[in-house]
């Protein structure tokens, strides 16, 4: 009764009037900055290896919590940020157990164009279809940008 899962690369885009240097801290949150720039769903962050790897615990839905270990791969301030992640408690039936995210910030004259590339080790066919139909990753990027704009303007 389970549909097969396979590795998947998803690309999404968002735009903002914010400059890359203004947007950067909201997209590259780490244990040193999450209390100021982190999402309200981020419950905690702590360094495993300072400046390189950190543990993040986020809320997923009303009750669930997800622990991820992030490893920073590339950090070109105000331009590009890449990290890989793993979910230590993921079971064989989990929808995702590891992957990566690359963020590119491209100045466009009136602000910034954000390009995100997410890679997941396994995504069900059903989830792929739902993400495609409702532009799920694009909506995630739009929410991040809207949140950053609201916080930045206050």
To the nearest 10 degrees (0 to 180), the angle between helices 136-153 and 20-27 is 110
SS3 (DSSP) at 153: helix
Per-residue pLDDT, 1 = 41
H helices, E strands: number in the chain: 4, 7
For the record, the structure tokens of 106 come out as 């491209």
Q: Is the pLDDT of residue 3 over 70?
A: no
Q: Are the beta carbons of 104 and 79 closer than 8 angstroms?
A: yes
Distance CA 129, CA 88 (A): 26
Task: Tell me what the mean pLDDT of segment 132-150 comes to.
Answer: 84
Kindly report, residue by residue over 22-81, the tens digit of the pLDDT. 999 999 999 999 999 988 889 999 999 999 999 999 987 777 888 999 999 999 999 999
């Amino acid at each position: 009764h389970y549909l097969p899962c396979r590795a998947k690369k998803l690309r999404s885009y968002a735009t903002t009037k914010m400059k890359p240097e203004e947007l950067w801290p909201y997209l590259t949150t780490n244990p040193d900055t999450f209390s100021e720039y982190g999402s309200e769903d981020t419950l905690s962050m702590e360094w495993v290896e300072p400046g390189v790897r950190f543990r993040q615990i986020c809320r997923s839905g009303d009750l669930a919590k997800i622990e991820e270990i992030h490893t920073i791969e590339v950090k070109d301030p105000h331009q590009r940020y890449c990290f890989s992640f793993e979910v230590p408690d993921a079971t064989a039936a989990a929808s995702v157990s590891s992957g990566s995210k690359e963020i590119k910030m491209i100045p466009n004259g009136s602000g910034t164009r954000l390009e995100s590339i997410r890679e997941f080790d396994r995504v069900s066919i059903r989830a792929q279809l739902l993400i495609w139909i409702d532009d799920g990753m694009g909506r995630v990027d739009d929410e991040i940008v809207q949140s950053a704009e609201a916080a930045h303007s206050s």
